[in-house]
Amino acid sequence: MNFDQELTFADHIRWISGRSFHSLRQLCFIRRILMTDTIITLMSILVISRIDYCNTVLAGMHDVYVQQVQRVLNAAARLIARKRKYDSISATLRDALRWLLILQRVEFKLSVLVFNCMHNLAPSYLSTMCQPVADNAGRRHLRSAARGDLAVPATRTLQYGPRSFAVAGPFTWNSL
């Protein structure tokens, strides 16, 4: 994973996109001789696993960076479905392949991590960041406590604070 000074992960996203598009170009040459199940398996191994690795750092990212990764996912779906560059791919992603969009993948992964924290299946340093509202004595009688919401801590910075797991995890969980 590549870090930059502003934590935009632009270099990391550029690297993921470049390596994934390289794999897609290689798969494009052998697409005609492979069955659809085989190409989906290869796509999962070479492209999707690269996209899904550490994708929770994309939580709260600018749309410019998220769209770069979404383009890779769209190109992979076009290759599998044998669609042209400007054909609509959203129905194929949703219905045929049953893939989530990048932001939905990030939200899903965050939600699973928060679920694991709430059921003591995650490390303790993560579990301490997911505290129910009902644990706070002053908020015990609020509707959010009755719903089982998690406490979202206040942040001092607008750029980095909301992207941290301590804020993004409970916020995503409460929005479900």
pLDDT tens-digit readout, 93-129: 889 899 999 999 999 999 999 999 999 999 999 999 9
| Domain extents in the chain | 10-99, 108-174
pLDDT of 131 strictly over 90: no
Q: Label residue 137 by pLDDT band (50, 70, 90).
A: low
153 Cβ neighbours under 8 A, 6+ residues apart: 166, 167, 170
pLDDT tens-digit readout, 59-102: 888 889 899 999 999 999 999 999 988 888 988 888 989 999 99
Provide the pLDDT for residue 19: 94
